[in-house]
Structure 1
């Protein structure tokens, strides 16, 4: 029998950790971007459809898979999906489902964090720059460019972030991760609520014709005409956002759920996690960047565009929204606020840092668990091995122009591909009746029976929308050799590691091609 694994000490710690995993930069940066670029209120309709019919079902699937793997002492996808696949196919066939799933999860985690950790570092830097007023009185676009060109400064804030992650993960699940998120998640919500309150009473700070109400109206007024003309594009963006915001298709929900007891609830806990994330994204994230940018439109929108009217100005803001918007245009808003802008800007970027940190800590733990469980490397040592891996993987992001965008496009495709594996392995190969039974094992709620066909049929169909969309975006795109080599290298390492981890524990039943080990 495996030695006793660490487990969550409290239910609130588990929920906050899972919510922290889901709440990330996507809630406060990517979500407003998708809303602004996809017709405002037109985006919200397919967004909630995708949440109900795709996000919640896949979230339950990953919670069930994680807890099931935890029964056998596994917190990584390779062995877990081998165990689930062997319910329908022979062990030798199940081995390859486990190897491919583990390969995708490993490569996703490393490649995503090669640039995600740098984005978190940028947020830490800009929190400091805002508090000190470093970019006040300067061209904010040039300031951001100069910061990115100062590699020593970039690596400093990256290093601070990753070292803190290593310390938190090295302390374990209950004594490390749980304690950190119990502090950081409440602070994240407090900061966000304070800023949203300020935005609500801000009104028209520059021009009486431009107020935060215009921004809220843009988000929450259904734009049926836009949705009719751009339905496929908006639906693709909405389904893609659901995956990013809930951290689906990465293997990290399964990792966190593996630290549950065999009879711990997953049905209500999964739904609570979704609710906390959606509150952070829709209510808080949707009430900050877009309304604030709209109220300060006279300061950030070119005069010739501004003269064309609100519709054209809002369209311009939507086109410019994105990651760079937070570091170039929003600082202009903070400067326009005067002295309070330093505080507001520092809180905004610290909010982004908290959100990014609590997501990154989950991915950091996945790789640490892989080293600890599959290679018998002590957790404290493993955390520093992961830090070195992240450092090496992140160097091309700093020194090779365009590398981050290429890897990000590939990550989006792999993410949706792994989510498809979730459904195939954890539902169909595991057998739907087995899955339904596991979902309700120790559950605090009964999932309605009509959700079963949603899990079996509607969710997979909706999943094909972002999967095909991501594949199409890659067709014709030229992957340069640095990105290509990084992807292939991570595939090889992930496949070899997954094969070894499954073979090491289940070698006898693979040799006999029959199930031997049962818990």
Structure 2
């Protein structure tokens, strides 16, 4: 029997916990700063209104109405659409596998913060001493035994949460973790803005370059940030909303989730770039020289900033990596639940059996990411699964729903229990604006990867872990679609809103 959220607050905290992930802390500030600074906020907010909130409303409505995760929801809309649901589920499965490794790094660095174990050269410490990084994604170099203990600990915690279920596991964890996350972020921001040079960092982040708005790439970057940040397009919000009571106001819920997520992005960005400004002042260089994207910012650049602080270095380090750790855990359980829901809804298996089906193979495969090649593999897989996999899933979803299904029916479903109604603009933004922009992203990203590869990696690395990952997702989505499910899993009359524990 299906679980159900204990309250709307529990659902919102879980949804916000999923959306507020690692990328909010390290990706958004850099994307904004390198795409026009303060001017980036204009396409960013435009993308929120025309893509982020409309897609959230769409997925909340579909999940609640059809009472299932992505595969069965799409199958109940049209049995030929089921493959898309499994495509989204397999994307989540891949992300979950490498997300474990990043959380392991965060947990380790919480410990390192007490003594600043990274020393005077955090880059060398991270790549050589900590990861034992090899020169190729295909040169595994063996399992890094120093990562085994935190790796097993993260797996045990994740498995415990998942086996407890939606209401007793995920909801409870998010109610505990989200307030702690925001408290840690508040400490980071307060400490950051009180440091010398903080203004320089904030100027780098927010100073508008209006000429950047003429660049189509800036607008594409804004839509990309919204898409990845809100966990839309790869089954998470469909899964979470499938556990909602029928009377839930999905329109209001979408606005609350988006507002909380994007507010947190900007708030965390203030803290991160205040520190970058201080670091630039100490080194006598520009903020741009010390600001790096992604993993480099979190595990190579920021430890240098922590060590350079005049006081309370350990506390600041624990807060920063603790915030990353908590954001990672709340996102990880949402990603895993997407896959679990897919198996539970289609096949005749209990929740705990579905968890086992998902956790065992993902546990085995995730060992790849604690080998010497782990970070190289992670970098390639993450780029391809996000920039091609998720965007493709989103475009296909919008085309199928807005052009081959009665989207007006979903609009009426969304408005039925909402405090304020959405008009037909909602359908047109999804059908035209968002579809076109995401379509441009697929074309640009695919052309770039085919012509120039990615990140300077060898073509063999790209073919195996980049295009190979996309092929893996496509093939397994097809296999799971063709497998026989429980009788009547596509039938609408099987939907029940009564909670049975």
State TM-score, norm by structure 2. Answer: 0.88
SS across alignment from 1:271 = helix
How many angstroms does 1:278 deviate by? 1.0
Q: What does 1:174-213 align with in structure 2 at a 5 Å threshold?
A: 174-202=167-195, 204=196, 211-213=197-199
- The correspondence for 2:208, drawn from 199, 216, 222, is 222
Which residue is equivalent to 1:512? none
Which residue is equivalent to 2:463? 480
> Contact conserved, 2:190 with 2:271, CA < 8 A, in 1?
no
Could you say if the C-alpha distance between residues 418 and 349 of structure 1 is closer, same or farther in structure 2, counting changes exceeding 3 Å? same
SS across alignment from 2:131 = helix
Moved more, 489-498 or 24-33: 489-498
SS across alignment from 2:312 = helix
> Contact conserved, 2:408 with 2:427, CA < 8 A, in 1?
no
Structure 1 CA distance, aligned partners of 2:43 and 2:272? 21
How many angstroms does 1:168 deviate by? 0.9
Which residue is equivalent to 1:279? 263
Structure 2 CA distance, aligned partners of 1:496 and 1:327? 38
> Contact conserved, 2:392 with 2:442, CA < 8 A, in 1?
yes
> Contact conserved, 2:339 with 2:358, CA < 8 A, in 1?
yes
Structure 2 CA distance, aligned partners of 1:278 and 1:27? 8
Could you say if the C-alpha distance between residues 373 and 286 of structure 1 is closer, same or farther in structure 2, counting changes exceeding 3 Å? same
Cα RMSD (Å) of the superposition?
Answer: 2.4
Structure 2 CA distance, aligned partners of 1:326 and 1:487? 27
> Contact conserved, 1:140 with 1:332, CA < 8 A, in 2?
yes
Residues 1:349 and 2:321 aligned together: yes
Structure 2 CA distance, aligned partners of 1:176 and 1:501? 29
- The correspondence for 1:31, drawn from 20, 28, 33, is 28
- The correspondence for 1:148, drawn from 108, 131, 134, is 131
How many angstroms does 1:361 deviate by? 0.7
Could you say if the C-alpha distance between residues 381 and 132 of structure 1 is closer, same or farther in structure 2, counting changes exceeding 3 Å? farther
Which residue is equivalent to 1:245? 229
Q: What does 1:430-445 align with in structure 2 at a 5 Å threshold?
A: 430-445=405-420
Q: 1:281-329: per-residue Cα shift (whole Å, max 9, x none)? A: 11x22112122111211445xx6xx3xxxxxx233234x3331121112
Residues 1:104 and 2:61 aligned together: no
Which residue is equivalent to 2:15? 18
> Contact conserved, 1:19 with 1:277, CA < 8 A, in 2?
yes
Residues 1:261 and 2:245 aligned together: yes
Q: 1:137-188: per-residue Cα shift (whole Å, max 9, x none)? A: 4321121121112812223223222221111111111111111100001111
Matched residue count:
474
Structure 2 CA distance, aligned partners of 1:447 and 1:126? 45
Q: 1:98-155: per-residue Cα shift (whole Å, max 9, x none)? A: 12x12311221122122222112111111111024322x4321121121112812223
Structure 1 CA distance, aligned partners of 2:182 and 2:484? 39
SS across alignment from 1:505 = coil
Residues 1:420 and 2:420 aligned together: no
Could you say if the C-alpha distance between residues 465 and 48 of structure 1 is closer, same or farther in structure 2, counting changes exceeding 3 Å? farther
State TM-score, norm by structure 1. Answer: 0.85
Could you say if the C-alpha distance between residues 483 and 448 of structure 1 is closer, same or farther in structure 2, counting changes exceeding 3 Å? closer
Q: What does 1:111-190 align with in structure 2 at a 5 Å threshold?
A: 111-135=94-118, 137-145=119-127, 146-149=129-132, 151-190=144-183
- The correspondence for 1:470, drawn from 445, 454, 461, is 445
How many angstroms does 1:56 deviate by? 1.1
Which residue is equivalent to 1:336? 308
- The correspondence for 1:493, drawn from 470, 476, 492, is 476
- The correspondence for 2:278, drawn from 285, 292, 295, is 295
Residues 1:233 and 2:217 aligned together: yes
Residues 1:407 and 2:368 aligned together: no
Structure of higher CA gyration radius: 1
Could you say if the C-alpha distance between residues 484 and 200 of structure 1 is closer, same or farther in structure 2, counting changes exceeding 3 Å? closer
How many angstroms does 1:442 deviate by? 1.3
SS across alignment from 1:261 = coil
> Contact conserved, 2:380 with 2:465, CA < 8 A, in 1?
no
How many angstroms does 1:15 deviate by? 0.6
Could you say if the C-alpha distance between residues 178 and 506 of structure 1 is closer, same or farther in structure 2, counting changes exceeding 3 Å? closer
- The correspondence for 1:374, drawn from 324, 332, 346, is 346
SS across alignment from 2:162 = helix
Could you say if the C-alpha distance between residues 268 and 248 of structure 1 is closer, same or farther in structure 2, counting changes exceeding 3 Å? same
> Contact conserved, 1:249 with 1:419, CA < 8 A, in 2?
yes
> Contact conserved, 2:384 with 2:466, CA < 8 A, in 1?
no
